[in-house]
Amino acid sequence: MKWTLIYFDDQIQNIECFKELLAADFNVIGCLDATQFNSVMLENHPHAFLLDVHMPVLDGHALYQKINSHPLYNGCPIIFISGDQSDENKLKSFQEGGIDFLPRDLKSEETVARLSNKIRFYLERSTKLELGNLRIDVEAFLVTINLKPIDFTLLEMRILSNLLRSYPKPLTRAQLIFRVWENETVKPGTINTHLTNLRPKIEAWDYIIKVREDNILILKKP
């Protein structure tokens, strides 16, 4: 399972190159027309956006503002990419709010590492999580499905929040126990009990929680 990256670029060869480059770690959704950002964003659940700076009609900096101000933008990293490595271009990209700037001649290993690190940082610290029709606001202690509040216990919210932060990667039982209970001694079977109580509450969710041997993961319903 891979992270989803939406990549806006008016050159198809750039998109195809990145799809191949990032194939092992990312599901790259390419878009040649930046004016279609609204539908592309709503149809997918991105872990990050990659924006070409120089595009016709709507350039990367203008597109950043459109995405950032959208009411359904999930707060994930927005990163600029460009062959123009002038100080002026880099500075404007960071001033606009981009979390990183990738030169086109960057080595593939560093590209993957920088994208992955930004996504991990975002997921580990985000207090508002969304996947499909489910939303979690950790600070407000609120879970909704189709915008309808669901009655959750604190432990259930912590379990589901950590699974969402890891998605699309699975968590082992040991990892989930450490993240939820930290240094407390908790038996692995405790996870099963909480998941059993949790499942009826999220029946209307577009996704399901599965346990496969030692791994706990989220899968989209068929």
Model confidence pLDDT, tens digit, residues 95-119? 989 999 999 988 989 999 999 999 9
Q: Rounded distance, CA 140 to CA 127, Å?
A: 9
pLDDT in tens, 117-138: 999 888 888 888 889 899 999 8
pLDDT under 70: residue ranges of the chain: 1, 183-184
Radius of gyration of the chain (CA): 19
Q: Rounded distance, CA 93 to CA 98, Å?
A: 6
Neighbours of 79 (CB within 10 A): 23
Torsions phi, psi of 186, nearest 5? -130, 130
pLDDT of residue 178: 87
Residue with the two structure tokens 């271009």: 89
Alpha carbon 23 to its chain centroid, in Å, reads: 16
pTM comes to: 0.69
